[in-house]
Amino acid sequence: MIQWFTILLAILISLVAITFTVWPLFNPKQQLFRSENQEVIDLIHRKDIILQSIKEIEFDYHTKKLSEVDFQRLNTRLRHQALALMRQIEKAEPNVQLLEEELEEAISKTRQRHRLERTDATPKNFCPQCGTPVAKDDNYCVSCGKQLKS
């Protein structure tokens, strides 16, 4: 009797696991996995990396690891690369750029609000586009690349 019960329980557990595994093959509506625009994702990744690099050379410059000349040269080169990538993204998927901008705007508003609450810094020390703190003599925002001085 116990032996039969063992066999039945083992079969039941196995059946539940097997059914769960093969279920997506017979129920295509429940799928999480979709195909995606890989080209655009690559471009966005590359742009993110360049923007991160810009932040890093800015930081290295402030901590005196990069000379003024090297910083300006690298900064210009990286900004050109970032702009070129943004144009490519715009061309490949115009909606993505729009959505990204919408996202950036929403984040920057929240970020700016939080900063104003926490510090006594005046709003003029922040980038008007993304809300990142900037020095008074900065020509460009270190985060989003927006031109700060004409």
Calpha distance 114→42 (Å, rounded): 32
The CA dihedral of 117, 123, 125, 126, to the nearest 10 degrees, is 80
Give the chain's count of helices (H) and strands (E).
4, 0
Tell which one of 39, 87, 103, 146 touches another protein (CB under 8 A): 103
Q: Tell me: does residue 144 bind another protein (CB under 8 A).
A: no
Q: Is 111 in the site for another protein (CB under 8 A)?
A: yes
Shortest Cβ 134–another protein spacing (Å): 7
Closer residue to another protein (CB): 25 or 149: 25
Query: CA 148 to CA 145: how far, in whole Å?
Result: 9
90 binds another protein (CB under 8 A): no
Cα–Cα separations (whole angstroms), residue 104 to 26, 44, 53: 41, 14, 18
Binding flag, residue 4, another protein (CB under 8 A): no
Applying CB under 8 A, the residues found at the interface with another protein are 2, 5-6, 9-10, 13-14, 17-18, 20-25, 28, 30-38, 40-42, 44-46, 48-49, 52-53, 56-57, 59-60, 62-67, 69-70, 74, 93, 96, 99-100, 102-103, 106-107, 109-111, 119-121, 125, 133-135
